[in-house]
Structure 1
Amino acid sequence: MSKSAAIKVQGWCPTVWAPMQAQDGWIVRVRPHCASISAQQWTVLAELSLSCAHPEIEMTRLGNVQLRGVSQAQLPLVHSRLVEAQLVPADADADQAPAVHCTPFYQRADLTHALALLLSQAVITQLSPNALKSQGVQALPSKFGLAVDDAQRRMRGIAADISVWVTADERYGLALGEQSGWYAFDGASEVVAAALAVALWFAKERTAIAPMPTPTFTRLRQLLPLRALNLPCLQRAEFKAGCMVAGAAALPGRLKQAGRVIGVPMGRISAAALLEAVKAMSPQTEVRVTPWRSLFCEDEAIAAQFSSPAHWITEASDSRLRVSACAGAPQCTQALLAARELALMLAPHVPTQAHVHVSGCAKCCALSPEATAVLIATEAPAGDSGQALLNLSWPNLPRQPFSQISTQALRQEPSHISTLIHDLHIRNPR
């Protein structure tokens, strides 16, 4: 059977207590609490990356970080050190509660931070697998997640099932899935209670429609068109109609309000470069993670430690921001090519207003919301050179290729990508 015929989509997300096995070893994912990781914790991650995994720490598009390539023998050590560093909960039930992704743009003890702390604790105590089991309800799917956003709604583009935030007038908002309208509440406890009620409703209704072990519905947006959400907490809230516009990514550079965003090429942090950057910081110095595979430093002096152009992106004009890719070969057994290497080769030739995502197979993993074009690897016809072919497609129509080029031809003349993108955009069907 060919690779393309045997494509397998994983229906769950790894954690430290439930790692995922890949072609190159185990994937161990850390979900930072309130998007915050201290210099001391970054040191632990970097040391584990260098000694027990691949020498790069991967960042995800939900603001998580993960070690890849961990061997079976090293799993217990990695697990114990991450727990000891307080990067993950000390028990599996808390670790497998739904993820709460938090904006990095808050001040400690402000309303956004307080909301994130309140929601995170409530999710563990009321939505963890054991908490739901005590109510006779199946655990929520690992892809189900909540987000705490800021008043600018920068995180609207991430895949959250339930989003809450502090509004500009210091009220509290709640949005469901990809719906454009939202609910306004007067207090943090009210909006958190409503978020929990919606999550519990989803946990019950998804299994009522499709009884386990067939997890047909893993995201709230799949169920909302099929079931009326008549919860008293939402009926009491003030509903506000609105146009859902995807939040703009925070690009590398200094932010207007304060702080600096530091980009990471292809979302992969060199563990050695990270150790060099944090060694002069005090142990409790925060370097936060963003859902755009970058870092956020509140202090300019801290941001100055991330200055090596080979390892960090400090300007929004850097061409490496115009490409993204899946893990690719050899890390992924289903990939037909080294997607990240090809993406970096193409980067200098991608037009300024474009963004190319390279996928090693038809799954289009880690597809960037900024992508304006997708290159998808497919097997060459029998008797060909064996080089994978690349289908160029629109991001919203990945299965409808506009044109095709061989990997070899594009490697020999990477500048040809600009012509391909130009032709694609002229025929844009949207």
Structure 2
Amino acid sequence: MTQRFTPPEVKGWCPGLFAPMQAKDGWLVRVRPAFGRITAAQAVFLAQIAEREGNGLICLTNRASLQLRGFSHNNALRFPELAVLAGLGMANPEHEKRLALLVSPLAGCDPSCAPDTLECAAALRAALCHANSLSALPDKFGFAVDGGGLFTIGLLKADIMLQATGAGFWSVVCGNQKSKAASVQAAVELAIKLAQAFIAIPKSKRPARYPETGKMLFQSVNEQGNPVEVPAVDAPDSALLAGKIGQALYALNAPLGILTSAMLRSCANHARNGDGILRLTPWHSIILHGLPYPPHVAGMVDTSTNPILRVSACMGNAGCVQAEGETQALARTLAHGLKAEESLHVSGCSKGCAHPAKASWTVVAAQNGYGLICNGTASGPVMRFFPDDRAVEDYFIGTKPQERIMNGRV
């Protein structure tokens, strides 16, 4: 059988608080909480809105944002005003657009995370708000403040990153280049200069996707960059994604990044017994701090041995018009066929939105079946093609990993 993959449409932009996106299951709205944190009251507010005005589904994204699904167009247009009143966004749309900022999830409650991480993040956030010229950045362009700790340096991914180097100093990483250590203020100023340089250079490609852009940007601002050592691990250990991860620190993982309003409300109720904050991570976990007991939320993963922690999947054809097939149920089934060190990505098309990086196994939907890719991304070479999801399940669950590779002639 000849596989038929429909070339996906690359929109080149992401939904934002003031820019809802139409999906197959209705309009999608997004909130990007400051420093990746929401209060218990804000979580309850979002759960109520999701139930009342959407379809009750909430996605925890790989940028530590929350997406509420299934809105009508009118409800989506009304949502920003409600979110701003709840403290979940900036009233100025231009400010909001520029605040694509990831921060170490455990800053302030992990003793091994740089103690000035939140100070650095606040300084960068303020600088982004005041840098009007940065409104010209692409919607997908992002920043990160990485203080290390339990979630080690290098796990956060963004176009421009501030990384702690110890003793109150920070380096700026852009693509394949890294600056010398400097003060918080100097590092923030350099990050803004690099972003402005990106805008000034016609047809620049994002450093997160094209690392060689970093050297060009450093040269354009007359700064000496040094080659970056690329971390070998793109995701944290499963032990940090679910269960107890530190002193009075507990992680609850949303399987495949999907929450229901009931799950989010339950997380909020638990958070009230701790410090009242829900910390969102790019790895689909919500971290609660200060609880005197291990929390349990129906439908969420609270043990680090669950194989679903190493699986990613988009909404598939249930929620995306570009998806060629079902993904969510297939991903949950295939999770049981993974070995301990393996990862899996199930994508509705070759864009691979849910997991742009490589996975041990990637399954991609096509017009007439599913392709299986070994150690690649969703756009990689297909080693084997199956006519339907049942055939994928039979092969993946019933075949040992080494036999899969041999049969696929990889």
| Structure 1 gap ranges (5+) | 211-215, 381-387
1:190 equivalenced with 2:186 (yes/no) = yes
The partner residue of 1:294 within 272, 278, 285 is 285
Aligned twin of 1:140:
137
1:390 equivalenced with 2:371 (yes/no) = yes
The partner residue of 2:129 within 105, 124, 147 is 124
Distance 1:272 1:172, change over 3 A: same
Distance 1:324 1:420, change over 3 A: farther
* Identity of matched residues, %: 26
Distance 1:277 1:5, change over 3 A: closer
Aligned twin of 2:168:
170
1:190-209 residue pairs with structure 2 within 5 A? Answer: 190-205=186-201, 207=202
1:268 equivalenced with 2:258 (yes/no) = yes
Deviations 1:231-269 (A, max 9, x none): 56734xxx6555221454132232246622221111111
TM, length-normalised to structure 1: 0.83
Cα RMSD, aligned residues only: 3.0
Aligned twin of 1:385:
none
Distance 1:401 1:281, change over 3 A: closer
1:349 equivalenced with 2:350 (yes/no) = no
> What amino acid sits opposite 1:87 in the alignment?
L
Give me the whole-angstrom Cα distance separating, in 2, the residues matched to 1:225 and 1:312: 39
Give me the whole-angstrom Cα distance separating, in 1, the residues matched to 2:4 and 2:89: 35
The offset of 1:357, in angstroms, is 0.8
Distance 1:155 1:340, change over 3 A: farther
SS of the counterpart of 2:312? strand
> What amino acid sits opposite 2:120 in the alignment?
L
SS of the counterpart of 1:234? coil
> What amino acid sits opposite 2:371 in the alignment?
L
Structure 1 ranges of 4+ moved more than 6 A: 427-430
More off after superposition, 82-91 vs 268-277:
268-277
Distance 1:275 1:220, change over 3 A: closer
> What amino acid sits opposite 1:350 in the alignment?
L
Give me the whole-angstrom Cα distance separating, in 2, the residues matched to 1:409 and 1:337: 12
TM, length-normalised to structure 2: 0.87
The partner residue of 2:367 within 379, 383, 386 is 379
Aligned twin of 2:18:
17
Give me the whole-angstrom Cα distance separating, in 2, the residues matched to 1:275 and 1:169: 39
Distance 1:282 1:356, change over 3 A: closer
Distance 1:204 1:368, change over 3 A: closer
Q: Is 1:123–1:196's contact at 8 Å kept on the other side of the alignment? A: yes
More off after superposition, 87-96 vs 414-423:
414-423
Aligned twin of 2:386:
405
Distance 1:24 1:64, change over 3 A: same
| Structure 2 gap ranges (5+) | none
Deviations 1:132-177 (A, max 9, x none): 1xxxx87110111110111347362444111102223331121112
Q: How many residues align?
A: 397
Distance 1:63 1:298, change over 3 A: same
Q: Is 2:347–2:365's contact at 8 Å kept on the other side of the alignment? A: yes
Distance 1:355 1:195, change over 3 A: same
Q: Is 1:161–1:220's contact at 8 Å kept on the other side of the alignment? A: yes
The offset of 1:3, in angstroms, is 8.6
Aligned twin of 1:27:
28
Give me the whole-angstrom Cα distance separating, in 2, the residues matched to 1:353 and 1:286: 32
Deviations 1:95-135 (A, max 9, x none): 11141111111117940010001101101111xxxx11xxx
Distance 1:234 1:274, change over 3 A: same
Deviations 1:34-88 (A, max 9, x none): 1111101111111111111121210111111111121112123322211111101
